[in-house]
Chains A and B, each alone.
Chain A
Amino acid sequence: MFETLILILDATLRVSTPLILAALAGLFAERSGIVDIGLEGKILGAAFAAAAAAAVFGSAWIGLLFAIIASVALALIHGFACITHRGDHIVSGVAINTIVAGLTVTLGLDWFSQGGQTPALTGDARFTSITFPFADALADVPVIGLIYSELLSGHNILVYLAFAIVPLAVWIIYKTRFGLRLRAVGENPHAVDTAGISVAFIRYRAMIICGILCGLAGAYLSTAHNAGFLKDMSAGKGYIALAALIFGKWRPVPVMFACLLFGFLDAVAVRMQGVQVPGIGEVPVQAIEVLPYVLTVLLLAGFIGKAVAPKAVGRPYVKERG
């Protein structure tokens, strides 16, 4: 039983990683006042770029670099539409999602002729697990051994990076000048403008950070969690991340826990496949897979208290007044 729990938690970490990265990406965007429904598209685009570059160059790191470039480019397009041209954030985000969904498959077909997939990645073209020192030696120690060798050890670098970024995000947002301005610009851009700071510049920087984080999430999906790009492989993670963002009230640590909760449900769903539950029998896998979504709806419907979004989020900043 204990071992099962550890294995579920272990899977939770792996499933939560892209959610955490994407949710933090959304956090930076929304804290600056930009609604980013295009997280999904950025993750998908980055996943494709990572897999394609990794397949061509044979290096996961080069794949990661291309993932970040692609994702930042998409983030800047969103920024250009929303910040410079004061467009509707939702429309721009949906446009990005749609374009990327089609473009990845089309380019994949053209470049690799494998039905829209990228070639299967092997060796250095993937991020592989890092085994902590003495993991094998400690594996047999009761409780601690299992936690150390199974739960903590044996993940790839991007998993550790995602969890390391959480405290980093906290530090940036609450302890630095950029963080103060970022929070201010999402609440009251007029206050920032009158203080002599460029609203647009802060928002663009936030979008670049958003792009980098989505790039990590996408690369994780195609070059670490899986071994190649699959059509629509982001599978709604961008939207779940947005839900986690609201659930976590736009604060990094609660957002991380929200992602872990969604990841946990996902891991349970996998684990429950074919398992006989006493008194119920085999639970249809669909019933469990739907849980994260049901949970999101229920939680957002009012079980988490009032989630107050940054006040200026989604509203184009127009300087001319009266």
Chain B
Amino acid sequence: MNNTTSPYAIELRDISKRFGAVQANKDICLQVPAGTVHGIIGENGAGKSTLMSIIYGFYEADSGDIEVGGELVNIRTSEDAIRFGIGMVHQHFMLVENFTVLENVVLGAEGGAMLKGGLDAARKELKRLEQEYNLDVDVDAVVEDLPVGLQQRVEILKALYRGAKILILDEPTGVLTPQEADHLFRILQSLKEQGVTVMIITHKLREIMASTDNVSVMRQGQMVAHRVTAETDKEELAELMVGKKVRLVVDKEEAKPTNVALSAKNLSWFDEQGVKRLKDVSLELKAGEIVGIAGVSGNGQSELLNALSGITPLSGGEIHFNGEVITAKNKKNASQMRDLKMAHVPEDRHKMGLVTGFEAYEAAILGYHNSEAYNGKILLDRKAMLDECNERMQKWDVRPADPFLKTANFSGGNQQKIVIAREVEQNPDVLLIGQPTRGVDIGAIENIHEEIVKLRDSGKAILLVSVELDEIMALSDRIIVMFDGAVVGEIDAKDADERTLGLMMANALNEEEKAGGQA
């Protein structure tokens, strides 16, 4: 492989991959110079992980070429990828938890049918690798006893032990503390100095700026830009990630906010790994206003919606809502929150908003199925359900207006209308709405926006989470910006523009201040 002198460790040409109706990757071209750290940035769902899975042989591309070290290769399985010197550190570690570090490293590269020789050789080789790359790990420790930062190092060692010259890291800092992340960046630098090519996939701008030489931006399955990291900035990258679209205009009057409908104080939440995903979030929603949450996806917006709607219990803080104080101890589940007149349109309508195997009239009462309106003495009142479903389908222009059609068979926009209609028609005091128009066609978007504004004008409080910056700016009366699980800024919608929001979303304003303060 070394007799060809290509400046690129890996080169992709016109890679496309489709999953059913979803074009996950479209005509991706990418050149990664050897011995550099290359960042691939994009929002969740932009197609980064699919692309890396193609390089690592998990999926086969529908079309396109991959060259490694200037040679055209055909990567069908992970085994092929390993043979071509590609190693991958997955977002969720691929480690056998009750194995020792040593056993995990040799798995698949035992060097013979007997373990003894392979393990001894690996022990020696690991010692060398540890010194060369500054990767200290106790090789006899059992993996499940190690903190995540060290587990990740085991993954890196695994790849290096297999002779990886190209190392791909998928969302490497997702589970790391900031200190562990910094340590990781130092490790990556020493890898680079030893001639390893590193590719980092992430949606976090900080990591890109902190660790890469070049960066490529993906959006909606396509490669939209390539930049030299030193010549770009967070602001530009944020804009490239989110994309500039035709400006949405929503006709709406000035908001007339009245009393506070919901107030949240210092909300925090820890995930299963013990990572703090919500960091002391405080906010107030007033009746008659729409508050938008802006942020690069994955910065705590989903966790905030889950916490407010009662899907996940709080780890700390309190929510004041309709006379109740909800805390970590005084929990309310999602159904109890509904009873308190809080409605929730979840971000992912397939996973959380609908049972796709249900017919429309059944899906239309999910979460409210115990309400008197739909129940007879013992059984559900089918006629009441159908009547209401028909009525709503007319009002919301759901097509086809067939209450017996399975929800899976409606288009995205019509599915969303079924969900939003269900929540809005309950006449809630507070509506939490996540990604209201994701995957929805233009006509339906206008329709949904109008209804949201109508709900506001009838004196309800609305919290809107969306990855579409345009949507946030068009609908919101007030915009709160989240970054890394915390609220980093608030701005009146009238004063918001893409530049300001982009900077706030990258937390660049605060970091600049911090940097200024330290200097």
Q: How far is the CB of A200 from chain B (nearest CB, A)?
A: 12
Is the C-beta of B367 less than 8 angstroms from some C-beta in chain A?
no
Contact partners of A177 in chain B: CB under 8 A: 110, 112-115, 118
- Please measure, in the bound complex, the distance between the C-alpha atom of A188 and the C-alpha atom of B59, giving whole angstroms: 20
- B contact residues, total (Cβ < 8 Å): 33
Judge whether B103 and A188 touch: CB under 8 Å.
no
Closest to B88 in A: A194
* B96 near A183: Cβ-Cβ < 8 Å: yes
Question: Which listed residue (A178, A319, A322) contacts B113, Cβ 8 A?
Answer: A178
A-facing residues in B76-105 (Cβ within 8 Å): 77-82, 88, 90, 92, 94-99, 103-104
How extensive is the interface on chain A, given as a class?
20 to 34
Q: Would A179 and B115 count as touching, CB distance under 8 A? A: yes
- Give the shortest distance, in Å, between A195 (CB) and chain B (any CB): 3
Chain A positions 170 through 212: 1 when the CB is less than 8 Å from some CB of chain B, otherwise 0: 0000111111110110011011111111000000000000000
- Considering the chains assembled together, what is the distance between the CA atoms of A181 and B112 in angstroms? 12
State the majority secondary structure of interface residues on B. Answer: loop
A311 touches B (CB below 8 Å): yes
Q: A187-B97, A194-B90 are in contact. Are A319 and B107 (CB under 8 A)?
A: no
Q: In the complex where A180-B106, A193-B78, A196-B108 touch, is A188 in contact with B114 (Cβ < 8 A)? A: no
Closest to A311 in B: B97
Question: Which residue of B88, B92, B99, B114 contacts A176 across the interface (Cβ within 8 Å)?
Answer: B114
B113 touches A180 (CB 8 A): no
Of residues 264 through 322 on chain A, the ones whose CB sits less than 8 Å from some CB of chain B are: 311, 319-322
Nearest-Cβ distance from residue B167 to partner chain A, whole angstroms: 14
B49 interface contact, C-beta 8 A: yes
Q: Which chain B positions have C-beta within 8 A of A320?
A: 59
Is B116's beta carbon under 8 Å from chain A?
A: yes
**Residue in chain A with minimal CB distance to B111:** A177
CB of B58 within 8 A of chain A?
A: yes
Q: CB of B109 within 8 A of chain A?
A: yes
Instruction: Looking at the assembled complex, report how far the CB atom of A217 sits from the nearest CB atom of chain B, in whole angstroms.
Output: 27
Shortest distance from the beta carbon of B160 to any chain A beta carbon, whole Å: 14
CB closest chain-B residue, reference A196: B79
**Contact A196:B82 (CB < 8 A) given known A191-B95, A311-B97:** yes
Interfacial chain A residues near B107, Cβ < 8 Å: 180-181, 184, 191-192, 195, 197
Closest to A312 in B: B96
Cα A174 to Cα B116 in complex, Å, equals 10
Contact between chains at A191 and B113 (CB < 8 Å): no
| A191 x B115 contact (CB < 8 A) | no
Name the distance in Å between A87's Cβ and chain B's nearest Cβ.
21
Q: Which residues of A contact B158 (CB under 8 A)?
A: 195
Residue of A174, A179, A197 with highest tally of chain B CB at under 10 A: A197
Find out whether the CB atom of A184 lies under 8 angstroms from the CB atom of B79: no
Are A188 and B106 in contact, CB atoms less than 8 angstroms apart? no
Interfacial chain A residues near B81, Cβ < 8 Å = 196
Pick from A174, A176, A187, A192: contact of B98, CB below 8 A: A187
Give complex CA distance A184, B100 in Å.
11
List 5 A-B residue pairs with CB atoms under 8 Å apart, sorted by A's residue number: A178-B113, A187-B99, A195-B108, A197-B79, A197-B107
Closest 9 interchain pairs by CB?
A195-B108, A196-B79, A177-B110, A191-B94, A194-B94, A196-B78, A184-B96, A187-B96, A188-B96
Known: A191-B95, A195-B107, A197-B107. 16 other contacts (CB 8 A): A176-B113, A176-B114, A177-B114, A178-B113, A180-B103, A180-B115, A187-B98, A188-B94, A188-B95, A190-B94, A191-B96, A192-B108, A195-B158, A196-B78, A196-B79, A196-B108
**Which B positions have Cβ atoms within 8 angstroms of A?**
49, 56, 58-59, 77-82, 88, 90, 92, 94-99, 103-104, 106-110, 112-116, 118, 158
